Amino acid sequence: MFRVSKSMPKSNDSIKDKMETAKLAGYTILPSRESAKKAVLVAKTVCLTVFIIYIAVPIFVRANSWILPKVVFSNLVRWPPFIDLSKPSDFGLNTTRNFYLQTDNGVHVGVWHTLPSSLVQDGGPADPYEYEQLLKSGKRIILYLHGNSGTRGGYHRVQLYKLLAGLDFHIITFDYRGFGDSTGTPTEDGVVHDSHFMYRWIKERNNGQPIFLWGHSLGTAITTKLAKKLCELDDHPPGIILEAPFNNIREAAANHPFAIPYRLLPWFTWVFVDGIKEHGIHFSTDENIRSVSPPILILHAEDDAVVPFHLGEKLYEHAKQSKPDHHAVVEFKRFPGHHGFGHKHIFKSPELPEIIRSFVHKALERKK
């Protein structure tokens, strides 16, 4: 296994003894051919890995930039897989109705309507029409717009629905086009259109009851753009809640964990960020929020590893600058990192129910 620079006397000693003898005699032990081959193989593997990550992948992405919208929306990522969204009871939502609406030509979206806890009797009404009638019951309504990947049945989303139902809200949520069991392909304008359709659908049935908008992660950008559109139509919601928001898609992409290996490269912006913009995805929340007049509540955990905390702070600063009386209109609630809420689990905060009650009360008082 080893060879020596000088010939060694023959011996019946073990290989270990021979090595010791050679060292004592001043011989130089040279690596075997097998060891040298292994070292070369490791070096080749490292070089190939570096080439794939830093050269091949950027070239492939730039040449096939159609991939980027799929990464932004991640609508094909479903966990857990093989779930039946038509049965909300399988998710522990026993007073939730599942139904489908056509929001656009060839686009049907799956919708859940969860009842406020005070309206629940023996598992909720059996007649789906009663759910719509109960929107006129005088209870407040939340239109929940989820983030990218997954479905309306994601665990953290379901837990939030339960919390809000316990606070006596109607919760209407749905999967945008291309998500879950909804048809179509997601685009920025498309998912905002779906959200606007759902808002109008609720408003046609709620007998004037307040509709709050709640967005999470990518859903905060959709929520803000929807709110801007509603304000331009002089249809101002009473309040907007943004959970784990970012200021714009460019900085969100640059700060995403998947971007860590690439963002120091000189061509990072050209390959990844500009490629997103070229496909009509802007999500400029920091610009859209300037046109949003209703009160805004921002919720963000300091240990958010997906949308870094400082992006939520940046959005808060933009919102304050656009509103002269910002103390009454924009609130920012930080959740310390030691709680471990991260990107998805703010619903676990024992403070959250009171934060929501307080914000809703102040928003409705301002609406009067």
Residues marked as catalytic: 217, 304, 343
Cα–Cα nearest to 215, from 232, 200, 227, 205: 227
Tell whether omega for the bond before 237 is within 30 degrees of 0, i.e. cis: no
Taking the C-alpha atoms of residue 273 and residue 40, their distance in angstroms, rounded to an integer, is 37
Q: Within a 10 A sphere around the Cβ of 289, how many other Cβ atoms?
A: 29
Taking the C-alpha atoms of residue 171 and residue 213, their distance in angstroms, rounded to an integer, is 10
CB-based contacts of 324: which residues, under 8 Å, 6+ apart?
none
What sign does the dihedral 36-37-39-44 (CA atoms) show?
positive
Residue 276 is given by DSSP the state H
Please list the alpha-helical segments (H only) found in the chain.
15-24, 33-51, 57-63, 67-73, 128-134, 155-166, 188-203, 218-232, 249-254, 268, 274-278, 285-288, 309-321, 326-329, 352-367
Distances (CA, A) of 27 to 13, 31, 252: 17, 13, 60
CB 207 within 8 A of CB 135: yes
Cα–Cα nearest to 73, from 144, 142, 146, 143: 146
Residue with tokens 């400029």: 284
Which tokens sit at 106? 């060839």
Residue 207: strand, helix, or coil: coil
Taking the C-alpha atoms of residue 69 and residue 231, their distance in angstroms, rounded to an integer, is 28
Taking the C-alpha atoms of residue 323 and residue 332, their distance in angstroms, rounded to an integer, is 14
CB 220 within 8 A of CB 244: yes
